C-alpha cells in the first residue's frame, strides 16, 4: 500500500517498557505497520522518553535523557510510539522541560510535531480504519488517561478494534477512569493504587470480556498484574497485538 | 445612609496584591465584553412565544418537584388556590404587599376556606413579626421575573416585598402572568441592569424549585430549610 | 518523594474504613453522573464555550484583582456595610471575635463557608462562650460529630444515615428519630429553625462578590443562607479575596457553571444577591453588615505559576473526578480542601513542608483538569509542585535522588541502558516463578503487594529487531 504514490517512512520509538518487558508488542507494531506499507526503521541509541523522572519532579534528570532521545530521532520524518503516556510525555513534557531554552525548545517542538501514538498514526495519518485482522474474542478496551486527556485520542483505537473481523466489542464501564498506576505512585502509595486498580478489574470482570485491550503498556502491566494476582483469566493485550491477529 | 467603616491596613493589604500581580508578555487579559453572548438564548418575545415559555417553565418547575400550572383568569386562579389551601391544610398565610396581588383580592379566597391571609408587614416590632412569620403556613408572592429555561423565579426584594415571605413558610405560592416570563439568564440580567443599573435592591433571590438537600447518603430530600411545597400559578396576560 | 508517616496513617485509616469509603464512592459517583448528564443536555460544544468564557472572566479578574477589590470595598462602604481586610486568618478571626463581644452575641448561626473552616473560626467563637450552629445540613452533621468537611459541597458525604441518626438522637429531646432520610431532615428543619429564631449574628460564606454593585452572592440548595441573611440583625460574610466578579453579567455565566459542575442542577435552588444593610422601611435583612475579605496566603500566588488556582469556584467536581479522592475520601488530605484542588492549595497556602507530599497523592491522570469548570491546570500544577519540592526545596528523598541521578546517567546512553536491563534480567531468576514475579524485595515489594509483575523476557525488543529487519530493504 502506498499513500498518494509515496511510501511513508517512519521510525519506531518502541519505549523502554516495550523494549524491556513486552518485545512481542514491539514485534506486532512493526508487522502491522509494515503490512500497511510503512517503511519502518528502529534508530539505534533510543532508550526511554524520560517520563519516570519527570513525573517525580526530577526535571533536570528527565531533560538529560530527553535530549538524547531528540538527538537519536533527529533525522526521522515521523516517529511512532506504541504507548499513549510516553507519547504524551513527548507532547506535553518536552515543551515544558525545555521552555525558554534557545536551542532545545525549538528541537523539542519539532520532535513533538512528528511524533504519533500508534493508533493515532494508523487512523489519522494513514487514514486506515480496518487493518484486515481477524480475532474471534469478546474484547473490551481501557482508555488510558494521558492518551485520552492529553493527546485527545479516544475513538481511534476503538474504531480499529470494531473493524476487526470476528471481534465482539463490549464497552468497559468507566473506561476513562484511571487504573491507578501513576508511575511511582503505584509503589509509593501502593495501598491507594491497589484500591483503584481493584475497581478497574471489577469493571472489566463485569463486561464478561475475554480480552482487555489497551494502548499503554504500563496501565496494562498494572491491570494485568492485578488480574493475575486475583487469578482472573482475562487476557491483556496491546492494540497492536490484536491488529496482528489472523492476517 | 451612613458610610461603613473599614478595618485593617488597606495600604498593606493592597500592596501585597499590587506587588505580586504581573503583566504577562502579551499584556493582561482584557475584560470579556458581553460575557453572556452566545451562551444563553436571547430574544424579545411576543405574547404567543411567551405561551411556549410558560409551558417550558411549567415543565422545569414540575421536574424540580414543584407544581406549576397555567390559569386563564382570576376565577380559575381562585379555584386552584382553594385546592392548594385544602391540600396543604393552610390556616394562616402571609403575602407581599404588591399591587398585582392586591388586584386579585386573595383575602376573599382564604376567607372562603376558613383561613386567613395577612399582608406584609405583619408587625413593626422585630420579635413580634418574626414569631408571627414563623407561624405562617404559606407565603404568597408575585413572581416578578420568571426564567423559563431553568424554572427560576427572580425576586428583587423591597420594603413591601421582603424575602422573609418567600423563605420562611413551608409552602410558597408564586403568582404571575406570562408577561413576566423571559427565556434565560441573558434576558434576566439585562433586565435587572436596565432596571437597577448597579444599584441593586438589598436582596434579589433566584429561586429554582423547592429547598433541597442530598447531604444524607445523597438521598434527595425536599424542604430541609426553605419551602417544601412550591406552587407557581401562571395567569394568561 | 517522601511520604510523611502522618499522611500514610491518615490514608491507611481511610482505606480501612469501609463504611466511609462506600459512602464516598456512592456520593462521588452520583455527583459525577449528574454532572455528565447536565453537560450532555447543554451540549459538549456549548459546554466548552462556557468553560472558555469562565476561564477568560476569571483570568481577567485575577490579573486586575486590586482594581475590582477597591471597587467592591468602596461600594460596600457606600451602602453602609463595614469591611475588614484580613491579611491572615487570625486577623479575620479577631475581627469577628470582637464583633461578637460588642454585640454580646449568644447565638451565632452560620451557613456554609469554606474560608471559615480555613481560619478555624468556630473553635475561637465557642471559646468565647458563643453558641455556634452550622445550618447547612451536612455542616451541622459534621459539627455534631466534631469533624471537618470531607467534601467541598457535600461536607458529610462520608457518613451514612445510621451514623447521622445517632448524632441527631444525641441532641434530640423528643422521641427517637428513625434512621430514615426524610425523618432526619424533618428533625433538622425543626431543630435548626429554633436556632434561626434566636439568631444574634449570622455568618455566611460568599460564592461571588459583585464589584460594580457591592453585592455578595450566596448559593445554597437548602435555603439556609437565605434565612440567615433575612433574620440576622448582624450579618458577617467571609470571602476569600479572589472570589470576585465585575458585574452580574459574569455572574450569570458562573452560576450556570457552578451548579452544573457541582451537582448537575441547572441552577442552585437559592441564589441570593445581597447588598447588605436593609434600607428605608425594610424590616428584614441585616441592620449591620460586615464583609470580611481574607488574604491568608492568596496574594502570594498572584503572578506566580500557580496563579490560575485562584480561578477556583469551589464546585468540588475535581474531587468527584479524582480516583484517589474516591478511594480515600477527604479527611486523609489533612487540611480543609481535599482532592486535587486540596493537593494544590494545601501546600501553597500552608507550606510545602507541611503538605508538599499531597502533590504526590495523585496518579496524574488529568481527570481533575478536564472536570474543572474554570480550566485550572491542576494536573500541570501537580507536576510543578513535585518539581519545586525536588529542585527548589531540595526535598527529594535520598534514595530517589540517587535512583534518578543513576537512571539519568544510564538511560541517556544506549549501551549503559542495555547493560543495566541485561543485568536485571540476569539477576531476576530467584524471584521468577512461571514467567512472573509475585514476591520480591523493596521497592518492588510495594508493587507486588497487590499485583504480579511479568518477568523480564528472554529477548528484549532490541535483540529481536535484527531478525525482524532482515527483509527490509534499506
> Residues of C with CB below 8 A from A150's CB?
366
Mean of all residue pLDDT scores within chain B: 95
Cell of B200: 441593586
A155 and A188 both lie in a single domain: yes
> d(Cα A213, Cα A238) in Å, to the nearest integer?
6
CA distance C424 to C440: 13
- Residues of B within 8 A of C161 (CB-CB) are 216-217, 219
What's the confidence (pLDDT) of residue B44?
80
For strand B203-207 and strand B152-156, is the pairing parallel, antiparallel, or unpaired? antiparallel
Helices B126-135/C181-197 angle, 10° precision: 160
Nearest CB to B225 within list C212, C223, C271: C223
Q: Which residues 76-115 of chain B have a CB within 8 Å of chain C? A: none
In this structure, the answer to whether residues A148 and A229 fall within a common structural domain is yes
The band of C443, judged by pLDDT with boundaries at 50, 70 and 90, is: confident
| End residue of a domain, out of A109, A124, A139 | A124
Q: Which residue among C30, C80, C164 sits closest to B1, beta carbon to beta carbon?
A: C80
Tens digits of per-residue pLDDT, C452-464? 999 999 999 999 9
Question: Is the peptide bond prior to C356 cis by the omega test (within 30 degrees of 0)?
Answer: no
C270 pairs with which residues across the strands?
A: B207, C220
Would the CB atoms of C449 and A194 count as touching at under 8 Å?
Answer: yes
pLDDT exceeds cutoff 70 at C2: no
| pLDDT top residue among C35 and C2 | C35
Examine the domain organization and report whether A62 and A168 are in the same domain: no
B-chain residues near C285 (CB < 8 A):
157, 162-163, 202-203
> Do β-strands A211-214 and B92-95 pair in parallel, antiparallel, or remain unpaired?
unpaired
CA distance B195 to B176: 19
C 321-340 → A contacts, CB under 8 A: 323-324, 327-328
Q: Which DSSP state fits B30?
A: P
A1 in any annotated domain: no
Mean pLDDT of C287-311: 97
- Map out the domains of chain B as residue ranges: 44-235
CB atoms within 10 A of CB C34: 18
Interface test with B, best of C249, C262, C373 (most B CBs within 10 A): C249
Quick check: B21 and C302 CB within 8 A? Answer: yes
* Predicted confidence band of residue B114 (pLDDT cuts 50, 70, 90): very high
Of A16, A86, A4, A8, residue with least CA distance to A51: A86
Kindly identify which residue of chain A lies nearest to residue C444, measuring between CA atoms. Answer: A187
Among the partner residues C60, C136, C279, nearest to B32 by beta-carbon distance: C60
- In the structure grid, which three cell numbers stand for residue A130, read together? 480496518
Give tens-digit pLDDT for C14-63. 999 999 999 999 999 999 999 999 999 999 999 999 999 999 999 999 99
Number of B:C CB contacts under 8 A? 301
DSSP state of A6: B
pTM: predicted TM-score of the whole model, two decimal places? 0.95
Kindly state whether residue A4 falls inside one of the protein's structural domains.
no
Average pLDDT over residues B53-78: 97
| A231-241 tens-digit pLDDT | 999 999 999 99
Contacts of A40 in chain C (CB under 8 A): 472
**Which other chains touch chain C, taking contact as 3+ CB pairs less than 8 Å apart?**
A, B
Strand partners, B6: C83
CB contact under 8 A, C386 and A193: no
Give the pLDDT mean for A147-175: 97
Strand partners for A136? none
Q: Are residues B216 and C79, on separate chains, in Cβ contact within 8 Å?
A: no
Count CA atoms closer than 13 A to B21's CA, side-chain side.
19
Count helices and strands in chain B by DSSP H and E runs: 8, 13
Among chain C residues, the shortest Cα distance to B158 is held by C282
CB contact under 8 A, A21 and C369: no
Are residues B189 and C221, on separate chains, in Cβ contact within 8 Å?
A: no
Q: For residue C126, give how far its alpha carbon lies from the nearest alpha carbon of chain A (Å).
A: 37
Chains that touch A (3 or more CB pairs under 8 A): C
- The average pLDDT across C333-342 equals 96
Q: How long, in residues, is chain A?
A: 247
Q: What is the mean pLDDT of residues C73-94?
A: 98
Contacts of B8 in chain C (CB under 8 A): 83-87, 91, 95
Q: Is residue C473 very low, low, confident or very high in pLDDT (cuts 50, 70, 90)?
A: low
Kindly list the distances between the CA atom of residue C465 and the CA atoms of A30, A244, B205, B221, C220, in Å, as whole numbers in the listed order. 9, 17, 71, 64, 63
Closest CA–CA distance from residue C415 to any residue of chain B (Å): 43
The CATH number for A150's domain is 3.40.50
Say whether residue A4 is in contact with chain C using an 8 A CB cutoff.
Answer: no
Interface contact A48-C3, CB threshold 8 A: no
Tell which CATH classification among 1.10.260.40, 3.40.720.10, 3.60.10.10, 3.40.50.10420 matches the domain C63-299: 3.40.50.10420
The Cα angle at residue B13 between residues B12 and B17, in degrees rounded to 5 = 110
Is the predicted pLDDT of residue C474 greater than 70, yes or no?
no
Report CA-CA distances (Å) from C205 to A62, A222, C119, C126. 44, 43, 12, 19
| Residue B100 scores a pLDDT above 80 | yes
pLDDT at residue C220 in the model: 97
Instruction: For residue B205, give how far its alpha carbon lies from the nearest alpha carbon of chain C (Å).
Output: 5
Residues A84 and A158 in one domain: no
Asked whether residue A178 falls in the same domain as residue A109, the answer is no
Residue B237: band (very low, low, confident or very high) from pLDDT cuts 50, 70, 90: confident
Residue A90: is its pLDDT beyond 70? yes
Angstrom distance (rounded) from CA C422 to CA C462 = 12
Q: How far is B146 from chain C (nearest CA, A)?
A: 13
Range of the domain at A26: 9-124
Give yes or no for B39 touching C (CB within 8 A). yes
Chain B residues touching C221 at Cβ < 8 A: 211-214
Please tell me the distance from the alpha carbon of residue C137 to that of residue C134, in angstroms, as a whole number.
8
Residue C270 has pLDDT above 90, yes or no: yes
Q: Which helix (H) or strand (E) holds B103?
A: helix B99-104
Three-class SS string for chain C? CCCCHHHHHHHHHHHHCHHHHHHHHHHHHHHHHHHHHHHHHHCHHHHHHHHHHHHHHHHHHHHCHHHHHHHHHHHHHHCCCEEEEECCHHHHHHHHHHHHHHCCCCEEEECCCHHHHHCCHHHHHHHCCCEEEECCHHHHHHHHCCCCCCCCCCCCCCCCHHHHHHHHHHHCCCCCCCCCHHHHHHHHHHHHHHHHHCCCEEEECCCEEECCCCEEEEEECCCHHHHHHHHCCEEEEEEECCCEECCHHHHHHHHHHHHHHHHCCCCCCEEEEECCCCCCCCCCCCCEEEEEEECCCCHHHCCCCCHHHHHCCCCCHHHHHCHHHHHHCCHHHCCCCCHHHHHHHHHHHHCHHHHHHHHHCCCCCCHHHHHCCCCCCHHHHHHHHHHHHHHHCCCCCHHHHHHHHHHHHHHCCHHHHHHHHHHHHHHCCCCEECCEECCCCCCHHHHHCCCCEECCCCCCHHHHHHHHCCCCCC
Residues A63 and A92 in one domain: yes
As a whole number of angstroms, the distance between CA C269 and CA C265 comes to 9
Q: Helix, strand or coil for residue A74?
A: coil
Residues of C in contact with A229 (CB under 8 A): 438, 450-452
Q: Tell me, yes or no, whether A20 lies in a domain.
A: yes
Mean pLDDT over C100-107 rounds to 97
Within 8 A of A228 by CB-CB distance, chain C residues are 436, 451-452
What digits encode the pLDDT tens for the residues C140-184?
Answer: 999 999 999 999 999 999 999 999 999 999 999 999 999 999 999
State the pLDDT at residue A2. Answer: 54
Q: Is the dihedral of CA B49, B51, B55, B56 positive or negative?
A: positive
Nearest Cα neighbor of C217 from C260, C250, C192, C189 is: C250
* Residues 6+ positions from A99 with CB-CB distance below 8 Å: A105
Q: What are phi and psi of B159, to 5 degrees?
A: -55, -45
- % residues pLDDT > 70 (chain B): 100
Residue A3 is assigned to a structural domain of this protein: no
Lowest mean pLDDT among A3-17, B4-18, C262-276, C386-400: C386-400
Contact A65 C408 (CB under 8 A): yes
Half-sphere exposure for C8 (CA within 13 Å, toward CB): 11
Kindly state whether C405 is in contact with chain A, defined as any CB-CB distance less than 8 angstroms: yes
Q: How far apart are CA C346 and CA C336, in angstroms?
A: 8
Cβ neighbours of C364 in A, within 8 Å:
55, 145-146, 182-183, 185
Give the integer Cα–Cα distance in Å for C31 and C152.
12
Co-location of A135 and A229 in the same domain: yes
Show the CA angle centred on residue A151, arms to residues A148 and A153, nearest 5°.
50
- For the domain B44-235, what is the CATH code? 3.40.50.10420
pLDDT, mean of residues C295-324: 97
Q: Which residues contact C394 (CB under 8 A, 6 or more apart)?
A: none
Q: Mind listing the pLDDT tens digit for each residue in C395-421?
A: 567 778 888 888 898 899 999 999 999
What mean pLDDT do residues B134-138 have? 96
Q: For residue C76, is pLDDT > 60?
A: yes
Q: End of a domain among A124, A156, A171? A: A124
Check residue C240 and give its pLDDT. Answer: 98
Using a CB-CB cut-off of 8 Å, the residues of chain A touching C444 are: 187
Across chain C, mean pLDDT equals 95
Does C1 score more than 80 pLDDT? Answer: no
- What digits encode the pLDDT tens for the residues C244-254? 999 999 999 99
Residues A223 and A172 in one domain: yes
Q: How far is B111 from chain C (nearest CA, A)?
A: 27
Is B39 in contact with C280 (Cβ distance < 8 A)?
no
- Tell which residue, C52, C375, C376, C64, has the closest CA to residue C211: C64
* Domains contained in chain A, number: 2
Out of A71, A93, A124, a domain closes at A124
Tell me the domain boundaries of chain C: 63-299, 398-468
Which cell goes with B194? 436596565
Claim to verify: residue A136 and residue A74 sit in the same structural domain: no
> Which grid coordinates belong to C305?
505559576
Kind plus residue range of the DSSP H or E element containing B99: helix B99-104
- Cβ contact C460–A30 (<8 Å): no
pLDDT beyond 60 at B8: yes
Question: What grid cell was written down for B189?
Answer: 440580567
Q: For testing the chain A interface, which of C365, C422, C440, C448 should be mutated: the one with the most A CBs within 10 Å?
A: C365
Residue C393 has pLDDT above 80, yes or no: no
Amino acid at each position: 500500500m502506498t499513500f498518494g504514490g509515496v511510501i511513508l517512512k517512519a521510525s519506531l520509538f518502541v519505549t523502554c517498557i516495550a523494549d524491556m518487558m513486552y518485545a512481542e508488542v514491539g514485534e506486532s507494531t512493526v508487522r502491522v505497520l509494515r503490512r500497511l506499507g510503512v517503511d519502518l526503521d528502529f534508530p539505534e541509541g533510543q532508550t526511554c522518553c524520560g517520563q519516570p523522572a519527570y513525573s517525580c519532579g526530577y526535571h533536570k534528570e528527565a531533560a538529560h535523557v530527553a535530549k538524547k532521545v531528540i538527538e537519536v530521532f533527529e533525522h526521522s520524518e515521523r516517529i511512532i510510539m506504541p504507548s499513549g503516556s510516553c507519547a504524551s510525555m513527548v507532547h506535553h513534557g518536552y515543551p515544558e522541560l525545555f521552555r525558554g531554552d534557545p536551542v532545545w525548545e525549538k528541537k523539542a517542538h519539532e520532535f513533538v510535531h512528528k511524533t504519533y501514538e500508534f493508533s493515532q498514526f494508523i487512523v489519522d495519518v494513514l487514514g486506515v480504519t480496518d487493518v484486515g485482522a481477524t480475532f474471534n474474542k469478546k474484547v473490551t478496551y481501557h482508555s488510558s488517561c494521558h492518551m485520552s486527556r492529553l493527546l485527545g485520542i479516544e475513538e481511534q483505537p476503538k474504531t480499529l478494534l470494531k473493524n476487526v473481523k470476528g471481534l465482539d466489542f463490549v464497552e468497559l464501564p468507566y473506561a476513562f477512569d484511571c487504573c491507578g498506576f501513576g508511575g511511582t505512585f503505584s509503589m509509593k502509595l501502593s495501598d491507594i493504587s491497589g484500591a483503584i486498580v481493584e475497581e478497574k478489574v471489577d469493571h472489566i470482570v463485569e463486561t464478561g470480556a475475554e480480552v482487555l485491550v489497551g494502548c499503554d503498556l504500563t496501565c496494562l502491566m498494572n491491570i494485568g498484574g492485578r488480574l493475575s494476582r486475583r487469578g482472573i483469566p482475562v487476557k491483556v493485550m496491546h492494540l497492536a497485538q490484536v491488529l496482528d491477529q489472523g492476517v | 445612609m451612613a458610610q461603613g467603616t473599614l478595618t485593617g491596613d488597606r495600604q498593606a493589604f493592597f500592596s501585597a496584591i499590587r506587588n505580586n500581580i504581573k503583566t504577562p508578555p502579551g499584556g493582561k487579559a482584557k475584560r470579556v465584553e458581553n460575557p453572556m453572548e452566545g451562551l444563553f438564548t436571547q430574544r424579545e418575545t411576543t405574547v404567543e412565544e411567551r405561551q411556549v415559555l410558560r409551558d417550558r417553565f411549567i415543565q422545569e418547575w414540575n421536574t424540580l418537584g414543584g407544581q406549576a400550572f397555567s390559569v386563564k383568569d382570576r376565577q380559575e386562579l381562585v379555584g386552584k388556590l382553594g385546592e392548594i389551601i385544602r391540600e396543604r391544610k393552610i390556616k394562616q398565610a402571609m403575602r407581599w404587599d404588591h399591587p398585582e396581588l392586591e388586584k386579585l383580592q386573595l383575602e376573599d379566597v382564604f376567607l372562603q376556606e376558613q383561613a386567613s391571609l395577612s399582608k406584609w408587614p405583619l408587625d413593626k416590632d422585630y420579635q413580634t413579626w418574626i414569631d408571627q412569620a414563623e407561624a405562617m403556613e404559606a407565603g404568597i408572592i408575585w413572581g416578578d421575573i420568571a426564567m423559563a429555561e431553568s424554572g427560576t423565579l427572580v425576586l428583587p426584594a423591597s420594603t413591601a416585598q421582603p424575602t422573609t415571605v418567600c423563605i420562611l413558610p413551608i409552602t410558597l405560592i408564586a403568582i404571575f402572568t406570562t408577561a413576566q416570563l423571559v427565556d434565560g439568564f441573558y434576558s434576566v440580567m439585562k433586565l435587572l441592569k436596565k432596571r437597577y443599573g448597579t444599584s441593586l435592591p438589598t436582596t434579589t433571590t433566584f429561586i429554582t424549585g423547592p429547598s433541597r438537600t442530598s447531604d444524607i447518603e445523597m438521598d434527595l430530600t425536599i424542604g430541609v430549610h426553605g419551602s417544601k411545597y412550591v406552587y407557581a400559578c401562571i395567569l394568561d396576560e | 518523594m517522601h511520604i510523611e508517616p502522618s499522611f500514610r496513617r491518615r490514608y491507611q485509616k481511610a482505606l480501612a474504613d469501609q463504611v466511609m469509603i462506600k459512602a464516598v464512592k456512592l456520593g462521588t459517583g452520583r455527583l459525577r453522573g449528574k454532572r455528565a448528564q447536565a453537560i450532555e443536555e447543554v451540549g459538549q460544544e456549548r459546554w466548552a464555550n462556557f468553560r472558555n468564557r469562565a476561564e477568560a472572566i476569571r483570568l481577567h479578574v485575577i490579573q486586575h484583582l486590586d482594581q475590582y477589590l477597591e471597587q467592591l470595598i468602596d461600594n460596600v462602604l457606600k451602602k453602609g456595610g463595614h469591611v475588614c481586610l484580613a491579611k491572615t486568618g487570625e486577623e479575620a478571626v479577631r475581627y469577628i471575635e470582637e464583633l461578637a463581644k460588642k454585640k454580646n452575641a449568644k447565638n451565632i448561626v452560620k451557613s456554609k463557608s469554606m474560608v471559615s473552616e480555613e481560619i478555624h473560626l468556630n473553635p475561637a467563637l465557642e471559646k468565647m462562650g458563643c453558641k455556634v450552629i452550622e445550618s447547612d445540613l451536612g455542616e451541622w452533621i459534621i459539627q455534631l460529630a466534631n469533624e471537618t468537611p470531607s467534601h467541598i459541597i457535600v461536607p458529610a458525604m462520608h457518613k451514612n444515615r445510621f451514623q447521622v441518626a445517632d448524632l441527631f438522637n444525641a441532641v434530640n429531646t423528643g422521641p427517637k428519630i428513625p434512621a430514615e432520610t426524610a425523618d432526619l431532615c424533618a428533625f433538622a428543619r425543626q431543630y435548626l429553625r429554633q436556632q434561626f429564631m434566636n439568631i444574634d449574628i449570622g455568618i455566611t460564606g460568599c460564592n461571588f462578590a459583585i464589584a460594580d454593585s457591592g453585592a455578595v452572592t450566596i448559593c445554597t440548595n437548602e435555603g439556609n443562607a437565605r434565612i440567615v441573611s433575612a433574620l440576622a440583625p448582624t450579618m458577617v460574610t467571609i470571602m476569600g479575596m479572589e472570589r470576585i466578579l465585575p458585574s452580574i453579567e459574569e455572574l450569570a455565566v458562573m452560576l450556570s457553571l457552578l451548579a452544573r459542575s457541582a451537582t448537575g442542577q441547572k441552577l442552585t435552588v437559592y441564589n441570593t444577591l445581597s447588598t447588605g444593610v436593609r434600607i428605608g422601611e425594610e424590616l428584614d435583612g441585616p441592620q449591620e453588615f460586615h464583609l470580611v475579605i481574607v488574604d491568608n496566603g492568596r496574594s502570594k500566588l498572584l503572578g506566580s505559576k500557580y496563579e490560575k488556582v485562584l480561578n477556583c469556584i469551589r464546585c468540588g467536581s475535581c474531587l468527584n473526578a479524582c480516583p484517589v479522592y474516591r478511594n480515600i475520601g477527604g479527611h486523609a488530605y489533612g487540611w480543609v480542601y481535599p482532592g486535587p484542588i486540596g493537593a494544590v492549595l494545601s501546600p501553597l497556602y500552608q507550606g510545602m513542608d507541611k503538605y508538599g507530599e499531597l502533590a504526590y497523592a495523585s496518579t496524574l491522570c488529568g481527570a481533575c483538569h478536564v472536570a474543572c469548570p474554570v480550566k485550572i491546570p491542576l494536573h500541570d500544577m501537580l507536576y510543578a509542585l513535585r518539581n519545586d519540592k525536588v529542585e527548589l526545596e531540595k526535598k527529594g528523598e535520598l534514595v530517589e535522588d540517587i535512583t534518578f541521578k543513576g537512571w539519568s546517567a544510564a538511560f541517556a546512553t544506549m549501551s549503559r541502558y542495555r547493560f543495566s536491563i541485561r543485568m536485571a534480567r540476569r539477576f531476576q531468576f530467584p524471584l521468577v516463578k512461571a514467567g512472573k514475579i509475585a514476591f520480591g524485595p523493596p521497592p518492588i515489594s510495594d508493587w507486588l503487594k497487590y499485583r504480579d509483575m511479568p518477568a523480564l523476557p528472554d529477548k528484549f525488543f532490541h535483540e529481536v529487531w535484527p531478525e525482524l529487519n532482515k527483509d527490509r530493504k534499506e
